[in-house]
């Protein structure tokens, strides 16, 4: 005799067979057709993507700054080893189906470049000169080059006049 699976519990939720779907609410909400028809949903999707990117950037920056403190000047070696191990793992996991490995590999490569020299940790170096100091230095170099050019032109004029 078969028993109902809900016979021993206090609450039983019965979903009619015609109502069962394998699609989550978020994928229905951000369906391309529904996003295209509603500018509010498109704006919300852009906001969610930017918020996710910001959170990922903060998390990666914090994690890699801790790793940089832990590994010191050998941090770049650790970064390359971590990147190569991630790629090997993904390629091994999706060995028979390479088309499924493309998205995870793109994600790993994006993280690798986000943590590189243009990443969060390297942008905030405290001893680097500010933009104003760099511009002032360039202005001084241009002024010195202008003075040297004037001296060369004057010496050429003197040589022509003799």
Question: Per residue in 22-32, pLDDT tens?
Answer: 555 666 666 77
More confident residue, 91 or 60: 91
Q: Does position 106 have pLDDT exceeding 80, yes or no?
A: yes
- DSSP letter, residue 100: G
| CA pair distance 13, 5, nearest whole angstrom | 11
Give the model's pLDDT for residue 13. Answer: 55
Going by pLDDT thresholds of 50, 70 and 90, the confidence category of residue 125 is low
Taking the alpha carbons of 25, 26, 27, 32 in that order, is the dihedral positive or negative?
positive
The answer to whether the beta carbons of residues 126 and 115 sit under 8 Å apart is no
Give the model's pLDDT for residue 127. Answer: 65
Q: What average pLDDT does range 107-121 have in this prediction?
A: 71
| % of the chain exceeding 70 in pLDDT | 72
Going by pLDDT thresholds of 50, 70 and 90, the confidence category of residue 150 is very high
The answer to whether the beta carbons of residues 104 and 90 sit under 8 Å apart is yes
The answer to whether the beta carbons of residues 88 and 82 sit under 8 Å apart is no
């Amino acid at each position: 005799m078969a028993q109902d699976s809900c016979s021993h519990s206090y609450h039983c939720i019965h979903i009619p067979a015609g109502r069962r779907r394998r699609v989550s609410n978020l994928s229905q909400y951000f369906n391309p057709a529904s996003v295209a028809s509603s500018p509010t949903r498109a704006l919300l999707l852009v906001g969610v993507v930017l918020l996710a990117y910001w959170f990922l950037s903060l998390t990666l920056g914090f994690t890699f700054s801790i790793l940089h403190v832990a590994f010191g000047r050998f941090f770049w070696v650790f970064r390359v080893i971590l990147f190569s191990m991630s790629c090997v793992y993904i390629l091994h996991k999706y060995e028979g189906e390479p088309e499924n490995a493309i998205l995870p590999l793109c994600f790993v490569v994006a993280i690798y470049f986000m943590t590189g020299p243009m990443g969060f940790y390297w942008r905030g170096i405290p001893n680097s000169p500010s933009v104003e100091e760099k511009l002032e230095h360039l202005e001084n170099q241009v002024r010195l080059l202008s003075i040297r050019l004037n001296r060369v032109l004057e010496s050429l004029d003197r040589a022509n006049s003799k």
